Structures are given as C-alpha cells and as structure tokens.
Structure 1
C-alpha cells in the first residue's frame, strides 16, 4: 500500500510538471483556501503562531493572514512538480536571482548560505545549485521512499545532499575545501544544541549550529530568502551580504542576530513564512505549552 501511494505521488508530481506554472499555482491557491475552511490541527498551529507573533493584529486580520498562508503552503506542495521534475531551463526561467555577493566566485572564502523556511526555499536552493557546486543539509523524513525521492530530486543539479544528523566534521571539511554549505536553522529541533532567544518577543528554541559551524569552519554566513512573486510570476532568490560580526564569541548572541534578521524578512512577506511549523514546541522551564 505504501509503495502504491509513493507511485501515485510521483505520477502526480510528474503530471504537474507538464502543466503551465500559472495553472499549477492557481490550482494550489484554490485548494489551500478550501482546506483552510475545514477545522484542522495545522490551522490551529498557524493561528496560535500568528497570535503570539503579531499580538497587535485583530482576529479578522490573523484569520485572513492564516488563509493566505494556507494558499501559499498548498501552492508550494503542488509546485514541487515543476521544481523536482521540470527542466533546468524551466527552473532558470522561473527564478530571478539578486545577490549582494558574486555567486560564481571560485576564490570565495568558506561560506555558509543560511536559508529560512519560507515556502519558496526549495526552488531557491535548486536554482543556486545550477550555478556552483554546493552541499545542502536536509532533515530525514519518516517516509523513507518520499525522503529518498526528495533527496534525489533536490540534488539533481549537482547539490550534495547531507542529512542534518551527519557529523559536523564532514560539514567543516567541505567548508574548508571551498564547497559552500546551505542550511536552515529556524525550526524547533529540540533543546539540544539550542538556546531560547526572542522571536517576535516570544522565547523560541533556536539552533546554535550555524554559529558553531561558522566558527570552526572559519566561514562567513550569507543569508538568503526565496520569495514567491505576486501575479504568479515565479520566484526571486535574494542573497544578502554576509552577516557582520558573525559568528561572535557567543552562540546566544548569534542566535539573537539570526532571529532578528529573520523577523525583518518575515515582515516583508508574512504569509510566506512556514507558520504551520510548531515554532514554539519547546518552552523554557516553567512556561506552559501553547499548542
């Protein structure tokens, strides 16, 4: 049964990859709006996150933002068809690239590209991997077949896919060999190797891996964000200048810096951040759960 489900997912994504991008995006948006009308745990999580992070917003405003987020998230699932099975030329035509650094500089210092979980993150990573060899960290999924499919298709333009739980020694070695490493550290992966720092004023369990890897690998940290453009015009990959004074001598200060930067980007495109994730799953001792 699981194998049949996997084959159906692959068939669906391959079929979607053959359709016009605008049609896929409109279909995903419509399905997302319809799903938002139904009670669900994910809807509850989104609304809790929005109420915590934007206490100044009214209930109708939070509701509208949550509905738009559902549209964006479901769109992103359907657009995986193009991203995983579309041609390299089609990916290039859909993703605009704006960068504050030279992305094709083969003499660049060791670099960690720090991404964030906006709905377009995946296609941005794939677009960059068409330019330069890169290693990209991923989190293992419980569904082994789907995990293998995702790893294979995400790395099909030459990205070396590395499971997040792998040895830090390997990642540091890649950095020192000159291969950039792409990762995202803005989700709650548990209190181990994490600190509680503010995220929109709420204590959030935040990984310190970026800071530690940059320090050991003597790497600069370059943030990037992939935005879904309005009017179904594709995506924009924005690569920023390296963070100044990062890493510092304090993992906690670096985590604060990372969250502060992320907040500035969320405020630009709030519906596109991954609010369906339980960002406040772990709480400081003595604080009640929020979900």
Structure 2
C-alpha cells in the first residue's frame, strides 16, 4: 500500500518549462553516450576525470587533504597516484550513474557479479530487516542497481534541487528499489526494517554536529559520526550488512557483500560510532581509489578545535 511517506516520480507539465530545456538536452546527450560500448564509455569517463581537477581545484585540495589525514604514513607519491586514480573514478562515475539509471537488466548482468549474496538471502528468509550499508563509493549508484535487481529494497533519498534531475533520478533508482523514502524519515525506515525490508543507509559522511558524536575514522581521532545508525538498530532490530561495489580493470563490476556485523554496542554512542567507522574503513580499503574522497568528511570539529582544511577549501 502506498503511503504519504513513500516517494515516487511524478511527471508534470512544469518539467517542460524552458528553464529546464538545457537539462533535458544534457540528459539526452548523457543517455546517448551510455549506449556506447563500455570501453568507449570508460575512456570518456577517464578523460573527464582528468579534467575535473583543473576546473574544480578546491575539490582536488579537499580530496588531497582527506587522503593525507586518513593515510599520513603513506608516501606522498603513492597518495598522489591514489588522488589521480580517484579523479579518474569520479569521471567514470558520472557515466556509471547513467548506466545504473538507463541500462537494461540484461546489459547490467553482463558486466556484473555479486559475491556473498547468501548473507542477505538468509536474513530476509528469516523475516529479518536488513540495514544495508551503502558506503559512498563512486560506484555506489551502479552497485545499488546491481544488487537491487536481486534484492529490491527501500532507498533513502535526498531530493535534487533541479526538478528534472530529481524526476530522472527517482525513475532511475526505482529500477532497483520498491520505493524511496526521505532521508529524515527515521520512523519510515524503522517501519520498513520491522517489516523485514532491506533499507539502504549511508552513515559515512559528515552530516554536521546535530545528532553526531566524535569517533575515530582512519587516522583522524575525532570525526563527526551520525548516531542515526544506533536509533535504527535499536528500534528496527535489523541485520547490519556492509557491501562494496568495485569496478575491475576488465570493466566488470563486483558487488561484494560482507557478513552481518555482530555485537553492535547499543548503549554507548561513541563506542557505536567507533564500531561503525571501523566497519566502514574495512570496506573502503577494498577499493580506496574508488571511494568519494571529494567530500569534506572532517568539516565538523569539536568546539574549540581548528579546522582540518586550509582556507583555500573552506568554502568548498
């Protein structure tokens, strides 16, 4: 049954307003490009990725600083290589998003495989909800489509400011989800988990000081980490299952599903955040070049602490 809590795409005449014509044209070009053979798509993405640092300098500095903060013992030359590879992945990700939203199931299956799917199958078979940790890999959109074709779930959703992109995004994501739900709709997420649904959830970004605690993340000892995970686990009682969507050098995508996390510390928010961040670290290390390092993960600092970012990226 559809409720007011569930979000679906709705086409209206307002989406045809002239102010959206350029958006529609861009989507049309994007759609045509993702119909090309995959090797060409990859090369286009690689070229775009190498161009991004030249036109988005602040983002490059953010990513560089994140890598330095998280991997201080890594030789600078190695970090710079990872940074370059990360921007290539960023460019490819733009096309992978189109692949996730527009490719047929048949074409997706040709380029993908799932490992560890039995963990999800077992939990759902037992009627237990699954909180699926959709960590912010650049391949996440495509990974969600790959896994969602087998296990459609409930997507946690942030609307796009552009109404046309919001419509296209919803249409695309509903190819692998039963319905979408607002990211602040905690009650709706808990209800879905109690009903034995699979709910996509990404607790790895800095969501600000509200409802957050500071816990270690890689080499950063105080990273703002949401307490929302504890609320969902305490009230929804789901299995917590991380997964990693990884792009291979051969153009194949492997979605690796990890075993359910055990012994989640419900009674201590800092211990819970530390536990979750460690689980996220383990997944990131499976494909660190493909993680979203462009996000200012350490923007929120404890009161009185200095910013971890230089002035040139403060307005990033």
Which TM-score applies when normalising by structure 1?
A: 0.93
Q: How does 1:84-95 map to 2 (within 5 A)?
A: 84-95=101-112
1:61 equivalent in structure 2: 78
**Alpha-carbon deviations, 1:238-281, whole Å to 9, x = none?**
11111011253222212111111222232332211100001011
1:116 aligned counterpart, secondary structure = coil
Partner of 1:171: 189
Secondary structure, counterpart of 2:256 in structure 1: strand
* Residue aligning to 1:284: 302
Closer/same/farther in 2, CA of residues 280 and 102 from structure 1, 3 Å limit: closer
Superposed CA deviations along residues 188-211 of structure 1, whole A, max 9, x for unmatched, are 111111111111121211112122
SS of 2:259's partner is coil
Paired residues for 1:18-97 under 5 Å: 18-37=35-54, 40-97=57-114
1:34-92 deviations in whole A, cap 9, x for unaligned? Answer: 33355611111111111111111333322221111000011000222221111011112
Deviation at 1:172, TM superposition (A): 1.2
CA displacement at 1:12 relative to structure 2: 2.1
Aligned residue for 1:96, secondary structure, equals strand
Q: CA deviation at 1:225?
A: 1.1
- SS of the residue corresponding to residue 159 of structure 1 reads strand
Q: Relative to structure 1, is the Cα distance of residues 51 and 125 closer, same or farther in structure 2, using a 3 angstrom cutoff? A: same
User: Measured at CA, do residues 186 and 39 of structure 1 come closer, stay the same or move farther in structure 2, by a change above 3 Å?
Assistant: closer
Counting matched residue pairs gives 289
- Kept in 1, the 8 Å contact 2:71–2:219? The answer is no
Matched-pair contact (CA < 8 Å) for 1:114–1:221: yes
Secondary structure of the structure 2 residue equivalent to 1:206: strand
Please give the secondary structure, in 2, of the residue aligned with 1:221.
Answer: strand
Residue 235 (structure 2) pairs with residue 216 (structure 1): yes
Query: Which of these residues, 125, 140, 150, is aligned with residue 159 of structure 2?
Result: 140
Confirm whether residue 161 of structure 1 aligns to residue 163 of structure 2.
no
Distance 2:96 2:56 in 1: 24
Cα distance change, pair 114–57 in 1 and its aligned pair in 2 (3 A): same
Query: Is the Cα contact below 8 Å between 1:283 and 1:289 reproduced in 2?
Result: yes
Moved over 6 A (4+): none
Report if aligned partners of 1:91, 1:127 keep a CA contact under 8 Å in 2: yes
User: Cα offset for 1:102?
Assistant: 4.3
Report if aligned partners of 2:120, 2:130 keep a CA contact under 8 Å in 1: no
Question: Which residues of 2 match residues 217-236 of structure 1 at below 5 A?
Answer: 217-231=236-250, 233-236=251-254
Indicate yes or no: 2:30 matched with 1:13.
yes
Structure 1 residues without counterparts, runs of 5 or longer: none
Secondary structure class of the residue paired with 1:230: coil
RMSD: 1.8
Partners in 1 of 2:19 and 2:206 — Cα distance? 28
> What residue in structure 1 maps to residue 8 of structure 2?
none
C-alpha distance in structure 2 between counterparts of 1:49 and 1:102, whole Å:
32
CA distance in 1, matches of 2:203, 2:163: 23
SS of 1:36's equivalent in the other structure is helix
> Equivalent residues in 2 for 1:117-266 (5 A)?
117-166=136-185, 168-202=186-220, 203-231=222-250, 233-266=251-284
Equivalent position of 1:3 in the other structure = 20
Alpha-carbon contact 1:281-1:289 (below 8 Å) kept: yes
Cα distance in 2, alignment partners of residues 157 and 51 from structure 1: 36
Matches of 1:44 and 1:73 in 2, distance apart?
15
**Could you tell me how far 1:100 is from its partner in structure 2?**
5.8
TM-score (norm 2): 0.86
Residue 267 (structure 1) aligns with: 285
